[in-house]
Structures are given as C-alpha cells and as structure tokens.
Homo-oligomer: A and B are copies of this chain.
Amino acid sequence: MTEFVDTAAEAVAGVSDGATVLLGGFGNAGQPMELIDALLDSGTSDLTVVSNNAGQGDRGLALLIKERRVRKVICSFPRQSDSWHFDAAYRAGELELELVPQGNLAERLRAAGAGIGAFFTPTGYGTSLAEGKETREIEGRNYVLEHPIRGDVALIKALKADDVGNLVYRKTARNFGPVMAAAASHTVVQVAELVPSGSLDPENVITPGIYVDTVTALTPGTSQTQEAKQA
C-alpha cells in the first residue's frame, strides 16, 4: 500500500548506507531533484547509483558524488560538459563505473521488475562493453547475455499520483520512471500534484500503484494534497 509523506526528507528516510539506488531522469527531465537533495542531507553513504547520467554541475547526483557518498555508478553516459565532480572522483579512482549501453540499462531494469533471470540482447555484441560476457548466436544473429539490475530503492519523479499511488508522467520526463519503479524493492516518488482516486482514467495510468511505496507532493501545501491524503 502506498504511503504519503509531507517532505522529501521523510520520503528518503529509509535509504540505508550501502543501498543500490535507482535515480530516474534523462538529463534534467524526470530527475527527482528534491529527493536527491534530501538524500544528500540524510548523510547516507556508500551508495551504488543507477542512473542514465552521472550528475551535472553542482546539483543533485553531482553533489552526492562530490561528497564521496557514492561508491559505484551504473550508467550509460557519465561524460557531460559539466560533469566535473564525476570526472574528478573517477580519475581519483574513488568511484567505480559500470558503463552500460542505454537500452541495455533500460532492459536490465525492466528484467528486474519483470522477474526475468537474464536475457540475450544484440546491443553491444562484439564491443568492449561486452567483454567477458556470455554470447550466443540465435537464428544467425549474435547476442550478449545480460542480467537484471535490481534496486533497493528507486527515487523517481512523476506528474501526478492518485491516492492508491497510480502515476502519470509528463512528456519525455517519463523516461526511466516506470521501469525503475518496478525494479526497486521500495519506490519513492515526488509528484507535482496529488489527486483523489478515480480522477486518473484507468486507461491512462502509466505506473500502477502496486509499484509505488512512498509519495511526496512537492507543490507547497495545496488543499488537493490534503484531501487526497485523507481520502
């Protein structure tokens, strides 16, 4: 059952040292910035972070890395013009990197949520990123065996949640949210708005509430928020 909390700090309170944390977002779109900031404030350390990028500028994941709270990053694209904190930690040998092609990252997360033990993907075959991995030719095409990436916690961002935790997203901010929600033992979502049950069309729910454990609405104290929480 989905719980609703008032602050980002409460929402991330359950993240332990050493946890594997799935962070939603592609660039800034869909990045749960307030939850990441709360994670930074919480002092949690020794994290493995799974995210498409590895932080930008002096915000969010970049700060977690700067503060050496991240032991390992699993991502597809850590190198950006302003990823200096990642660069520094990585070059100093203080941050482990597992580089994963973006589609394999998405599919490995999907496999974790879907109970698939492993899968053969054509992506990366014959490249250095598949070195040491099992390969197989199937019907004339070559594949690499890839395994699920499970999270202890997922921190994601959505547009709205209803009071059973169903989520809808907005435009390309959807990106990794739905697969990460299903891939983690505990999924925390920041939303712009809470709405009463029945106000999201069941045909249009993107992430059903079964995947959502904790929700916090970050729009300062709307009455809707309170109503939904009491519904």
Chain A positions near chain B (C-beta within 8 angstroms)? 107, 111, 114-122, 136, 138-139, 141, 143, 147, 168-171, 201-204, 206
> Contacts of A119 on B, CB cut-off 8 Å?
111, 116-120
> Contacts of A120 on B, CB cut-off 8 Å?
116-119
Total identical chains: 2
* Cα-based distance from A114 to B121 in the complex (angstroms): 9
Interface pair B117/A169, CB less than 8 Å apart: no
Query: Of B121, B136, B170, B203, which is within 8 A of A170 by CB?
Result: B203
Within the complex, what minimum Cβ distance (angstroms) separates A203 from chain B?
A: 7
The closest CB in chain B to the CB of A139 belongs to B117
Interface pair A203/B203, CB less than 8 Å apart: no
* Cα-based distance from A96 to B183 in the complex (angstroms): 38
> Contacts of A136 on B, CB cut-off 8 Å?
117-118
Interface pair B122/A138, CB less than 8 Å apart: no
> Contacts of A143 on B, CB cut-off 8 Å?
117-118
Within the complex, what minimum Cβ distance (angstroms) separates A37 from chain B?
A: 27
* Cα-based distance from A58 to B169 in the complex (angstroms): 44
> Contacts of A201 on B, CB cut-off 8 Å?
204
> Contacts of A115 on B, CB cut-off 8 Å?
121-122
* Cα-based distance from A141 to B106 in the complex (angstroms): 22
